[in-house]
Each structure stands twice: as C-alpha cells, then as structure tokens.
A and B are shown apart, each in its own frame.
Chain A
C-alpha cells in the first residue's frame, strides 16, 4: 500500500500543468528522434543535459523519461516503413512489420506496434511501481563489496556475454574505463592521464564522449557509405488502425512479450535484443499458421514490440534501485542523476521520494500521451523519413556542437568532440560496440569508489570480495557470464 500512496503523491507532482508540458515535449522529442535515423534517445538525453541545467530536476527527468519511452515508439515506425532498424531491438519489427507494410497492411502493423508498446509499457511501469520499492528495501543492505561485484557483472554482461564479439566488447569497455579515469583523482588529488592539458584536470565530460561516439561517429560513417537510392519509404494510407481480427491475434502476443521483456530488462542482460528474439520465436511456435511468419504475421510485430517496451521499463528497476544501468540510455540517465547531485540507488527512494515517484507517475502519463501521439499522427511521423539526408545530418552536427560547447563554453571541448567522432567512426568501421565504452565512462568512477570503500572497510584485505557471501556469489556469476558463452559456442560449433 505504501507504493500506492507514494504513487498518488507522484501523480500530484507529475500532473502540474508545467510538468505535463515537459512530459509532452519529452514524448514528442522522443518519438521524433526515434523515427529519425542518425539520432536516438541516448544521444538526445546527452545533448539536452547541458542545455537543461537550469530546469528543476523533476521537470528535467519527466522530460527525459518521455524521450526514453518515446524513442521506442518512434523506432518501430522507422523499422516498419523503411525496413532498416535503427536499433538492434527493432530488427524483428523491421523484418516482419516491413513485410506487412509491403502487403498494404502498414496501418495495422503500426497500430499493433503502438498499442502493444502502450500495453507493455503500462504493465511494465506497474511492475516497476511495486518491484522497485521492494528491491530498494533489500538493496539498502548490500555491502560495498557486493556493489562493486554488481558493477563488474554489468560490465561483463553488457560487453562480453551478449554482444557479437566478447573480445571487441571488452576492448571497448576498457577504452571507456580509461577515458573515465582522465582528470583529477578525487580521493588523492592526483592528476591522471591528463597529458599536461589543464583543461583535462576536471576530466572529460561524458556528454562529449557520448555525442562524439554516437552523433559525430555516425555522421562520418554514414557519409563515407551513403545509400544512394532514396530507400523506399512505404506510403501510409490514413491513420494507424486495426481490425477486430487484428486485435484478436495481437492481444496474447502483447502479454507474452511483456512477460518476456520486463525481466530481461531488469537483469543486466544487455538490453532489449534478446527478449525480442525470444518473443518472435515463441509466437512462431505458438501460432496456428507459422507459415505466415517471415511473410508479415501480425503476431511477429505485436510480441517483439511489446517485449521491447516492457524491457525498457524493466531497465529502470536496477537503475533506480541499485544505480546500475543496463543499457546505453540508462547509463546516460544515471549520469543525468549524478549531474543533479543525486545518486540513484536504494537511498534515492528515501531522500528524493518526490522526484522518483514523480518520474514513475510521469511514465504512465507519457505512455498514454504516446498512444495518442502515435495512432492518429502516424502519417505525420512517417513524413519525417523523407527529410533529405544532407540537411538532417548537418542539423544533427550543429545541435551536437551546441550541446558540447555549452558544457564549459570552450572550443577545446569541440576539438575533443572531433577526436571522439573519429574514434566513433573507427568503432563502426572495425566492429567495436559503442555501448560498453559509454557504460565504462559513466560507471568506471563509481566502480573505483566502491572498490576503495570496500578496501578501506576490510583494511586492505583483497580477499574480502570472495569471503563476503553476496559478493562471492555475484563474482561466480561474473566468471560464468565471461566463460560460459564462448564454451557453449565452441561446443555448438563442434556439434554442428
């Protein structure tokens, strides 16, 4: 019942006219960047951080939450109408939804994606409402050794376990951790890796790294390999809507997708990709007409889209209760909390209850707004896909410049931005995932802090990590997450 009381208080915060306006701006921006290629929710929140520094924290987070959910809604529009997924979690939607659209069923595909996202998002938020405070209560007792082990677990699963190449993921992570070290060490006051530049004494702002690796790197990469044909955006006739038959075939996949997506988002398992694939396989297996799959089966859009959105809600559970981000966007939200002087974790519910509950309440509101925004306005969003690429990418670059320049009003930061842009290009060219580097930059300093606190408490005894039961248990999982996938892959290869 406590959760309900707090939630009602949260609605009081979120339902003020000004905060409703911020939520509306957030979901609109989120849908916009979700639809547009070359820019996504992670990048948008990073870009907005410096320019929203003057907003009250609650309003800023209500807007960020809108962007976070909105990006998911918008992403499905692009993958259905353009058959080129903006993010790995939309691969399935691109596959099945685009087939539907080609058969003239674009309206139904968009509708089942939007309504499914709404259902999954709402159920996911509901689960978050009740799970988060319960987990926070347990999490208060987690010792620093286990917190450090948890961060290690997130590092390993995000970079090695579920990516294409564990080696490349770990290199990306180590690079990010190294960047995170640049600057003055707060505990000893010593400069580290500053190469003698006084500008680097304060460290490299993660915003510069994120925008460089994502926006500039992407712009450079796309410029070198631009698709010359216009792509074939499928024309949408009328609004997104579904027939009675579509509803009958969609509602079960929505619920099953939600059930798969939420837990996968909540554990550090590398985001929404896995549950969308699982949901697709499951729907294919349960379907009475599996032959339709791959030809445009509505279940194959409904299930994965729901899984995608439910996992987005799930990701917020470890973020809010443990301060542990499990996706790039979550990592940036974590950094956003830190910029406002807040540390997500179990104590956040006690010290900043009004903010957390305002944020959670705004998720319900945002989801509802997104449904209204996406069903009737689908044709408007679809038009965005026709923006000429030269003007689109040029605009992204200009906004990136504003975001980074306004961090410190310094041209030095812009040079750094260019350097990270070139690195981002190289990572795309040589198949290094970007997310582990982002997680490393943002979570690295926190990891070092927990490590030091744990050492201080144990009086310098390194064995404390294996003798303390909860951290020993997590470390075993870390080792398994690192060792098991290559072993299984090798065995799979031998069997094949």
Chain B
C-alpha cells in the first residue's frame, strides 16, 4: 500500500515496452479471431461473437494505453514474494532448467511412466533451486514420485500412467 516514490521516469525500459506491445498484439489477434467465429444463420439475439468482440477490443485499448505509458518511461516493479530477494541478480537460467525439465518429464510421462516422468521434473526443480547433493536429489525425486503415485492411484483411485513399471507397482 505504502509504496516508495515511483522510480525515475527517465530511461525507457525495453522489456516493459515489449510486454505492452505484446498485450496490444494479443488484443488485435483476438479481434481477428473473433471475425473467424461462425455466427451465420443464428437467430439468437446475442450471438457467439458479441462477448469476444467486447473483450478483444477492450484488451487492445488497454494494451495501447499501457504501450503509451511504457513509451513515456513507466516501468513495472517485479513482485516481492516470500522466498525472493529483490536485490538478487536475476537468474533466468534457473527458470529455463525448470521449464525444460518439466516439458521433458511431461513428454516422457507416457513412455516411461508417471514415476520416472515426475522424478525428472522434481530433480530439475531441485537443481534449479541450487541443490547439488546429487545422490540425495535422486533418492528424494524417486521417493516423492513413487509415494505420490501410490497415494493417488491406490488411495484416491486415479489412473496415472505406469509406463515401464507396468506390473511392477
């Protein structure tokens, strides 16, 4: 609530401008997408295009305003969270590792099975958060994945892919 004085408005922030332009572009694309919704031969009073049109035009306008403000030097302050340090250097590689590990795990979920797929995800997050005790990480990853699998399949009756462990667990 009580925020410090707004940051200096001198320098233009390129990321902020790009985000604002991206939002505007999304709005424009949604307007085009709205035109593609089939509304011929409808006898309803409010067709399927009305709401999408209102929202896409709204988003485009809001994006345009944000672009103007960003071009005038406005910049966003990153959020402060429980475990973040606002002064820490930004480590985008960590986010990349998590995302990469997640996608690899997701695509191996069916062929290898839930246990190994999520173990890959678990391992990559722990690595990205700076953990380097590899033996421990491997053990915990497999353990968490296995216990989760058992808990949700046996306990709550969900079907999760067993993969190569089919018949074993």
Contact = CB atoms under 8 A, between A and B. Distances in A.
Contacts of B78: 221, 225, 428-431
A459 B44 CA distance: 10
Contacts of A399: 148
Contacts of A178: 30, 52, 55-56, 59
B48 A190 contact: yes
Main SS class of interface, B: helix
Contact of B82 (A78, A185, A187): A78
Nearest to B18: A430
Contacts of A409: 159, 161
Contact of B62 (A174, A190, A219, A451): A174
A308 B17 CA distance: 37
Given A219-B125, A391-B131, A452-B44, A38 B157 contact: no
B3 interface: yes
A319 B56 CA distance: 28
A222 interface: yes
A465 interface: no
A164 B80 CA distance: 14
A384 to B, nearest CB: 13
Contacts of A425: 95
A178 B19 CA distance: 17
A467 to B, nearest CB: 17
A167 B26 CA distance: 16
Contact of B160 (A188, A402, A459): A402
Contact of A397 (B59, B92, B103, B125): B125
A426 B83 contact: no
A399 to B, nearest CB: 7
A451 B46 contact: yes
* Size range of the chain A interface in the assembly: 35 or more
Contacts of A391: 126, 131, 140
A226 B129 contact: yes
Contacts of A187: 44, 48
Interface string B51-70: 11001101100110110010
Interface stretch (A6-14, A116-124, A287-295, A411-419): A411-419
Interface in A177-217: 177-178, 181, 185, 187-188, 190-193, 195, 216
A226 B94 contact: yes
Nearest to A169: B62
Contacts of A422: 99
A175 interface: yes
B84 to A, nearest CB: 4
A178 B88 CA distance: 35
B45 interface: yes
Given A37-B82, A190-B38, A388-B131, A51 B122 contact: no
B22 to A, nearest CB: 9
Given A190-B38, A227-B84, A451 B157 contact: no
A417 B31 CA distance: 25
Interface in A445-473: 448, 451-452, 455-456, 459-460
A318 to B, nearest CB: 23
Interface in A227-278: 227-229, 231, 273, 277
A64 interface: no
Contacts of A167: 62, 65-66, 69
B97 to A, nearest CB: 8
Given A86-B82, A178-B30, A448-B51, A227 B122 contact: no
28 contacts: A84-B83, A167-B65, A174-B55, A178-B56, A190-B38, A219-B98, A220-B95, A221-B79, A224-B90, A226-B83, A227-B88, A277-B1, A390-B126, A390-B130, A393-B129, A394-B121, A394-B144, A397-B102, A398-B118, A398-B122, A402-B158, A405-B109, A406-B152, A411-B109, A426-B19, A430-B16, A431-B76, A451-B46
Given A171-B62, A411-B109, A432-B76, 17 more contacts: A37-B82, A164-B3, A168-B76, A177-B55, A188-B44, A221-B81, A223-B129, A226-B88, A226-B91, A390-B125, A390-B126, A393-B129, A397-B102, A405-B109, A428-B78, A444-B51, A455-B45
Interface of B: 1, 3, 15-16, 19, 23, 26-27, 30, 33, 37-39, 42, 44-48, 51-52, 55-56, 58-59, 62-63, 65-66, 69, 76-79, 81-86, 88, 90-92, 94-95, 97-99, 102-103, 105-107, 109-110, 118, 121-123, 125-131, 137, 140-141, 144-145, 148, 152, 156-161
